[in-house]
């Protein structure tokens, strides 16, 4: 517990120092730049996504995972975001880029949720079983790896929420350990989104192959 506490304290201090070093009061130009960059990337993602979706639909059939335009919108947007993190665009974090993005994530989740009919959950028990098995593997893998590398429980809890709940819940769990650690939850959630987007391609294709589609 002593080593875990020391590691968490060191991480907390680093995050607090980084946040204070880049944080500044946003100006109107900063907010316009954030909004403009967001709309530009989303527009470009839709343009490229529709083109790629149509291309793969024509070459691989409408049932292919790669034929989904929305799938390519997410992939392109994720790729742009990862690429921008290696440029000066990362300095926009100081004016609240993560908070700005979180608002749009909430909007995305809300829009997706409005199309969900919870009464249809019982119509696909096989998919529900797959989800339960998936979560069981998630928990076992996390605990085994954490035990093997002697990771602090902080990373187990926040890493799990970053993969399952994403940016909506990971920062909340991180902040429960210390308010300065909330950005760690955001970073882990973004990493989970990035890896999950590409990993979902492989999982979807594997499930399609097993189903004989």
List the pLDDT tens digit at each of the 213 positions of the chain. Answer: 445 566 666 666 666 676 677 777 888 888 888 888 888 988 998 999 889 888 888 887 777 667 778 778 877 887 888 788 788 877 777 787 777 777 777 777 777 777 777 777 777 777 788 888 888 988 898 889 888 988 788 788 888 887 777 766 777 777 777 666 666 776 777 777 777 777 777 877 787 777 765
Q: What b/e readout covers 30-69, taking b as 16+ CB neighbours within 10 angstroms? A: beebbeebeeebeeebbebbeebbeebbeeeeeebbbbbb
CA 145 to chain centre: 21
Q: Is 96 helix (H, G, I), strand (E, B) or coil?
A: coil
Residue 10 and residue 8: Cα distance in Å, rounded? 5
Q: Is 61 helix (H, G, I), strand (E, B) or coil?
A: coil
Tell me if 187 sits within 8 A of 171, measured CB to CB.
no
Q: Which of 40, 102, 51, 128 is nearest to 77 (CA)?
A: 40
Tell me if 187 sits within 8 A of 175, measured CB to CB.
no
């Amino acid at each position: 517990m002593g080593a875990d506490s020391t590691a968490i304290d060191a991480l907390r201090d680093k995050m607090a120092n980084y946040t204070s070093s880049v944080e500044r009061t946003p100006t109107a130009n900063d907010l316009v730049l954030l909004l403009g960059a967001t709309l530009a990337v989303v527009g470009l993602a839709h343009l490229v996504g529709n083109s790629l979706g149509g291309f793969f639909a024509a070459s691989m059939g409408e049932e292919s995972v790669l034929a989904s335009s929305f799938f390519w919108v997410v992939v392109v947007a994720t790729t742009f975001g990862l690429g921008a993190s290696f440029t000066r665009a990362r300095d926009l974090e100081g004016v609240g880029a993560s908070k700005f993005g979180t608002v749009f994530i909430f909007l995305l989740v809300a829009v997706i949720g409005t199309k969900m009919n919870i009464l249809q959950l019982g119509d696909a028990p096989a998919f529900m079983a797959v989800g339960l098995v998936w979560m069981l593997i998630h928990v076992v893998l996390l605990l085994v790896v954490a035990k093997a590398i002697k990771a602090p429980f902080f990373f187990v809890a926040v890493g799990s929420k970053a993969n399952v709940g994403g940016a909506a819940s990971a920062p909340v769990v991180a902040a429960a350990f210390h308010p300065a650690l909330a950005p760690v939850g955001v970073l882990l959630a973004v990493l989970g989104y990035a890896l999950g987007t590409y990993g979902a391609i492989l999982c979807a294709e594997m499930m399609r192959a097993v189903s004989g589609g």
